[in-house]
Chains A and B, each alone.
Chain A
Amino acid sequence: MKKTIFIVAALVLGGLVWGGLDAIHPFGDPGQVAMDDYFLEHAIKDRSSENAVTSIVFDFRGFDTIGEAAVLFTAVCSVTALFREGGKKK
């Protein structure tokens, strides 16, 4: 009984994921590229940065990067808090 429910749920979820991902756009041919073309053009023209990805990471979407740095800082804080030296000595 439990196994049947599990298989049915997996099939439904699989069908949903399969259909949804199949309907995005044909692989290798994104239809609308206006935003990315803007980035590719202006990365070199305004910022004279050869690497378009770095110019997106640190300029056009720079606020995401500070979030990302904050996530890394959060993980460091959490791990150092978990393994802090506290409590009684044995």
Chain B
Amino acid sequence: MNWQEHLPALILAIPLLGAFATPLFSLGGKTLRNVWMVSISFLTLVLAFFIWKYVGANGVMVYVMGAEKATLALPSGMTYPVRIILEIDGMSAFMALAGSIVSFAGAVYSVQFMDRFTGMNRFTSLYFLLTAGMLGLMITGDLFNFFVFLEIASVASFGLIAFWRDKPEAIEASFKYMLISQLSAMMVLIAIGTLYGRYNVLNMAGVASMLHLGFAEKFVLAFLVVALATKCGTFPMHMWMPDAYAEAPAGVTCLLVAVSQASLYGLMRVCFSLYGATIGSTFIPWVIVIFGTASMFFGVSMAVVQHEVKRLMGYHSISQVGYMLLGLGVGLLALGNPQAMADYGFTAIKGGVYHIFNYTMYKALLFLTAGALYYATGTRDLDKLGGLARKMPYTTFMFAIAAAAISGLPPFNGFVSKLLIYESVFAVHPFFTVAALVTSILTLASFVKVFQTAFLGPEKACFATVKEVPTSMIMGMAILTLAIVLLTLFPTWVLSNLVEPAAKALVDQGGYIGAIMGGGL
């Protein structure tokens, strides 16, 4: 009985407590509230790091809410778990680590970025609720609890996207996101209800151990895949993504990136752990692969014509999500076949999983630098910007690193994950590799355009008084830059210690079920 057993409950309870107690602390003034905001985010990051260490050492972590013994999943005399169970395997711990790094960076950044606005105590509460919703999505092992956290994350995002309520565009983007998100949430709920009606179990591992493919299960799979793919912004259902990312405050946008990754994680959890080998035909994997390729290509081709920095980056996130879907879809394609799995499937999954981490880091950094650009100059139209490299050296440096990482230039971390995806996808069909390469080149082209127009070139007279942004904003960006540089410097260590356990946990359906049900399949 040690305190480490309670880590899964604490990592959800601490941000919730932070959100609930924020109105109390904001009575004590601005400074106390900011200290509260940063310290709770930091505590969450520390807890996520401990969870990742613990899971790496001891295997899957199970926490039963409200039971007499927190690690005993099955009550006596029952063959199936009845209570809510949090289950953290390597993949969940990996995602929670990525999400809480981004959350901490965004909190530090927001301290001075949001300084000049009213309503900040509500903003702080909503920020913590968004963090809690994201972490809950990543570590829960219960289907209905998944839905509840999906709703917490969505409702907090609606409020935060519309936080600058005097911009009509922000309200409109929030409304659009709300419609799409509510539709997909209700689809998720109907699917969960169907699974409950079939098996009378709400636990993911419990359902997975009983699952046999009938028509109702196919219907559930279709609903879950469509709903969660919508939430993470794949091509035909992508229209909310650039709007929402462009209109939200910059510190929030960087967390929204991690939240969309949580939806992607949910999609992968459904495909790999809930259905796994019983997924039957190769129809769903091919659908995911084709969605991935389409969003990769169309996202980037819509991005190159944009003139606003944040909208351009919003379209790029669609194309980056496509990479992960491509890698993980190819892995899913090889799931039932050990030979194919060893040949290319596992490499593809490793590439996809690694790309999730990389993408979360550099995309969040890009959005933060875009916010800093606006903060300093007052415009985000690329045609008006220019010659800022001397005025804002830190921002320029960090933007250059992030841009190089997203376009997959060789020494950077984006290159490693993209290389893994290229070489494994080639085994399925060379066309996918060609599409991925073309996308990468177009990404490079558009970020060279941004870098050249915004930072290089002659200094403009209207920006003569521009200064570097305040310290906390630089700190926030520096945290993410540090993460990217570390990932870049130690690719082998990262691959073997960070990525491979996550990828193995994702593929290992028997381990996921066995941690709760006791005996594997």
Interface residues of A (CB under 8 A from B): 16-17, 19-21, 23-25, 30-36, 38-39, 59-64, 66-68, 70-71, 73-75, 77-78, 80-82, 84-87
Question: Once the chains bind, are B200 and A36 in contact (CB under 8 Å)?
Answer: yes
> Shortest distance in angstroms between A17's beta carbon and chain B's nearest beta carbon?
7
Q: Is B216 close to A, CB under 8 A?
A: yes
Nearest-Cβ distance from residue B207 to partner chain A, whole angstroms: 12
Q: How many residues of B contact A (CB 8 A)?
A: 50
Q: For residue A62, which residues in chain B have a CB less than 8 angstroms away from its CB?
A: 65-66, 84
Contact A63/B145 with A23-B216, A70-B16, A71-B152 known, Cβ cut-off 8 Å: yes
CA distance A69 to B122 in the complex (A): 16
29 residue pairs A–B, Cβ–Cβ below 8 Å: A16-B219, A17-B219, A19-B215, A20-B194, A20-B215, A20-B216, A20-B218, A21-B216, A24-B198, A25-B197, A30-B197, A33-B200, A36-B200, A38-B78, A38-B82, A60-B66, A60-B83, A63-B65, A63-B145, A67-B148, A70-B132, A75-B159, A77-B122, A78-B158, A78-B159, A78-B162, A81-B165, A82-B162, A87-B118
Q: How far, in whole Å, are A62 and B199 apart by their CA atoms in the complex? A: 21
In the complex, which residues of chain A have a beta carbon less than 8 angstroms from the beta carbon of B79? 34
Spot the interface stretch: B123-131, B251-259, B318-326: B123-131
Write out the residue numbers on chain A whose beta carbons fall within 8 Å of the beta carbon of B65.
62-63
A73 near B214 (CB under 8 angstroms)?
no
B16 x A81 contact (CB < 8 A): no
Query: Once bound together, how far apart are the Cα atoms of A67 and B219, in whole Å?
Result: 27
- CB nearest neighbor in A for B214: A23
A8 → chain B, closest Cβ, in Å?
A: 16
Q: Which 8 A-B pairs have the closest CB atoms?
A: A20-B219, A78-B159, A86-B118, A67-B148, A81-B122, A23-B216, A32-B200, A24-B197
CB <8 Å contact, B129 and A61: no
A60 in contact with B82 given A67-B145, A78-B159 (CB within 8 Å): yes
> Hey, which chain B residues are within 8 Å of A59, CB to CB?
66
Residues of B within 8 A of A74 (CB): 125-126, 129, 152, 155-156, 159
Contact at B84–A63, with CB atoms within 8 Å? yes
B308 within 8 A of A: no
A38 to B202 CA separation, bound complex (whole angstroms): 14
The proximity string for B residues 288-328 relative to A, scoring 1 for CB distances below 8 Å and 0 otherwise, is 00000000000000000000000000000000000000000
Tell me the chain B residues, 351-395 only, with Cβ under 8 Å from chain A.
none
The answer to whether B518 has its CB under 8 Å from any CB of chain A is no
Residues of B within 8 A of A63 (CB): 65-66, 84, 145
Q: In the complex the two chains form, what is the Cα distance from A82 to B20 in whole Å?
A: 19
Choose one: B78, B117, B220; the contact of A20 (CB below 8 Å): B220
Chain A residue numbers with a CB within 8 Å of B216 are 20-21, 23-24
Chain A residues whose C-beta falls within 8 Å of the C-beta of B136 in the assembled complex? 67
- Give the docked Cα–Cα distance between A75 and B155 (Å): 7
Query: Taking CB as reference atom, which chain B residue is nearest A81?
Result: B122
Which of B118, B126, B222 interacts with A78 by CB under 8 Å? B126
Residues of A within 8 A of B214 (CB): 23
B338 contacts partner chain A, Cβ-Cβ < 8 Å: no
Contact partner of B215 among A23, A61, A70, CB < 8 A?
Answer: A23
Is there contact, CB below 8 Å, between B122 and A61? no
Those of B48-100 within 8 Å (CB) of chain A: 65-66, 75, 78-80, 82-84
